[in-house]
Amino acid sequence: MLSSGLIIIATWSVGIGIVALQPETPLGFGLPGPGPAALARYLDPAFIDIAAWATGVFTACLITGILAVVVHRTHRLVAAQACVERARDNLARHVSANLVDELAELDEPFGPARIQDAAILFADVIGFTSLCEGRSPQAVMAMLRGFHERMADCVFEAGGTLDKFVGDSVMATFGTPKPSRRDATNALTCARKMLACLDAWNTERRAQGEPVLKIGIGLHFGPVVLGTIGHERRVEYAVLGDTVNTASRLEALSRDLQTSLVSSHALIEKVRAEVGEHTVRGMHRHPPVVVRGRMQAMEVWILVEHGCKPRLPLFEAESATTS
């Protein structure tokens, strides 16, 4: 903008100068004096008014400067917005998308620690240590990235919050930071999506000669503690409590029960209350089992897959629907 303005002013001034240097060109400064001769000289088509030229140059410089400032501020605004979006994208790589929105919109997005109900999901690769044996670090990292990417997509599609990756384990929450009317249902839907996505990926892996992956998923619903923990220079949004611990234990229990999905009775009951009985089809009530860390046996539901025989007999469907 400055260059364009300077070129226009210079071209105009050079043109005026060339005409002014001609011997026959009358020159003046400002309005003509009294008398018809002065007026006739001022109205001569070849007359050059130096004051008018100076005023035009000043006006052109002023307009050029204003436009240059506007363009510069607009450029800075666009650059700042690009930096904000880049920072937002970088934050979204480490924090779930709905948490990014929460962090961006409020000065204190989470406030003090609070207790609310939420659904918790844990998913973990079964036999990950043996899968890594004899494989290069690059191959293990590529496998983990592929697994994490697919599981994270399932969480986001189901409206959940990706809490963290811990090695080959994924933790997701539903109902945080804000609860909804379908948190338990979304958690169960996410678990089904994960299993379907893994089946599709395993088909590709078989075709490439790669070993298939199996996962165990644990689901639980109940009160959790929400808040930030850590140092003032490095805080982390955390979901804590017995509900989280129990969901992790249920995921580990999937190995003993020979199933890929174990859910607490509390979550199944919540799903029934949210959307009805049809959503829990495929899930079967299991006799109470002792979960590590708990004194009393706990009622659980498992996904019975084709060709899979649970370690303990299942309750009849009628008894499940009357519970």
Whether 141 has a pLDDT exceeding 80, the answer reads yes
DSSP run (H or E) holding 307: none
pLDDT at 61: 86
3-class SS of residue 24 = coil
Alpha-carbon torsion, ordered 267, 271, 274, 277, to 10 deg: -150
Q: Which two tokens stand for residue 135?
A: 């494989």
Same domain flag for 43 and 85: yes
State the Rg of the chain over Cα. 36
Alpha-carbon torsion, ordered 280, 286, 290, 293, to 10 deg: -10
* Domain finish residue from 70, 94, 118: 94
Domain annotation covers residue 99:
no
Same domain flag for 170 and 260: yes
Same domain flag for 22 and 114: no
Domain annotation covers residue 104:
no
**Count of alpha carbons within 13 Å of 181, Cβ hemisphere only?**
3
Segment 193-239, tens digit of pLDDT: 999 999 999 999 999 988 899 999 999 999 999 887 777 667 677 88
Same domain flag for 48 and 173: no
Number of structural domains the chain divides into = 2
Same domain flag for 138 and 281: yes
Domain annotation covers residue 101:
no
Whether 187 has a pLDDT exceeding 90, the answer reads yes
pLDDT at 15: 79
* Domain finish residue from 61, 94, 127: 94
Q: Which two tokens stand for residue 227?
A: 């808040």
Q: Which two tokens stand for residue 33?
A: 């004096």
Whether 311 has a pLDDT exceeding 80, the answer reads no
Same domain flag for 34 and 156: no
Tell me the residue range of the domain where 80 lies: 2-94
Higher model confidence: residue 275 or residue 88? Answer: 275
Least confident of 8-12, 34-38, 75-79, 293-297: 34-38
Q: What is the CATH number of the domain that holds 167?
A: 3.30.70.1230
Under DSSP, the state recorded for 167 is: T
* Domain finish residue from 33, 63, 94: 94
DSSP run (H or E) holding 235: strand 234-240
At 5, the pLDDT band (50, 70, 90 cuts) reads confident
Whether 252 has a pLDDT exceeding 60, the answer reads yes
CB atoms within 10 A of CB 223: 11
Same domain flag for 89 and 123: no
Whether 306 has a pLDDT exceeding 50, the answer reads no
Same domain flag for 56 and 133: no
Mean pLDDT computed over 51-79: 84
Q: What are the helix (H) ranges across the chain?
A: 2-20, 36-42, 50-94, 97-105, 128-132, 137-157, 183-207, 242-256, 265-275, 317-321
